[in-house]
Amino acid sequence: MEMMKEKKDPGSQADKKPISRRRFIAYVWIAAAAVVVGELIAGTFAFLWPRRKGGKIETVFIGGKVTDFKVGEVIPFRKERTFIVRTEGGFLAISSVCTHLHCIVNWNAVLKEFECPCHGAKFNQFGEVVAGPPPRPLDLYKLQIVAGNVVIDTVGGIERNKFDPSQLVKA
């Protein structure tokens, strides 16, 4: 009977060999590679996944008083992604988003044109395409004169094929 008691269970902890240093390092490398692959996959999905809309953004804003705008002047509103243009005929609210790849255009006061930094597109002061790949002019926003203030509604830009003087809002 005593012989039976002395026999050890083959699955007991005492019979297990400790993990070798070489095998431990191999497991660490495998775990590190799994983390890197996981980050690459997560980063790819984060890049391709559509962005969430930001918090509540005001869609109607007051650009200023009619008297604040000089004829021939183009005033940018970066947060609202809008330019207000005052011409001799009236006002235009032009979107600052290029119709080609949705880059933000800038106003060049020296050349008196809008320029897209992405592909070199150029638009005149009315938002019409002068050069480059955009398929149509810059979109317009609804503009109203209310109690002497220039009020712009940026919900749903107005697509157009060309400038028409009827698009101007008279002061």
| 126 in the same domain as 102 | yes
Whether 42 maps to a domain, the answer reads yes
Whether 97 maps to a domain, the answer reads yes
| 42 in the same domain as 77 | no
| 119 in the same domain as 83 | yes
In this predicted structure, what is the pLDDT of residue 115? 93
| 150 in the same domain as 101 | yes
| 97 in the same domain as 30 | no
Domain with residue 117: its CATH number is 2.102.10.10
How many structural domains is the chain composed of?
Answer: 2
pTM to 2 decimal places:
0.64
| 66 in the same domain as 44 | no
Amino acid making up residue 135: P
* Span 12-42, pLDDT tens digits: 555 677 889 999 999 999 999 999 999 999 9
- Which residues of the chain are modeled with pLDDT < 70? 1-15, 52-58
Whether 2 maps to a domain, the answer reads no
What CA–CA distance (Å, rounded) separates 4 from 142?
95
Given a contact cutoff of 8 angstroms between Cβ atoms, the answer to whether 124 and 113 are in contact is yes
Whether 68 maps to a domain, the answer reads yes
Exposure string over 63-102, b if 16+ CB within 10 A, otherwise e: beeeeebeeeebbbbeebbbbbbbeeebbbbbbbbbbbee
What CA–CA distance (Å, rounded) separates 90 from 85?
8
Say whether 40 sits in a helix, a strand or coil.
helix
Query: From residue 14, how far is each of 5, 20, 22, 55, 151 by CA, in Å?
Result: 15, 16, 21, 61, 82
| 66 in the same domain as 43 | no
What CA–CA distance (Å, rounded) separates 130 from 11?
82
| 124 in the same domain as 71 | yes
What CA–CA distance (Å, rounded) separates 148 from 91?
13
Q: How many residues does the chain have?
A: 171
- The last residue of one of the domains, among 7, 29, 49, is 49
Whether 23 maps to a domain, the answer reads yes
Q: Tell me the residue range of the domain where 137 lies.
A: 60-167
| 147 in the same domain as 65 | yes
Q: For the CA atoms of the chain, what is the radius of gyration?
A: 32
In this predicted structure, what is the pLDDT of residue 62? 83
| 148 in the same domain as 117 | yes
| 96 in the same domain as 27 | no
In this predicted structure, what is the pLDDT of residue 119? 86
| 140 in the same domain as 83 | yes
Positive or negative torsion for Cα 18, 24, 26, 31: positive
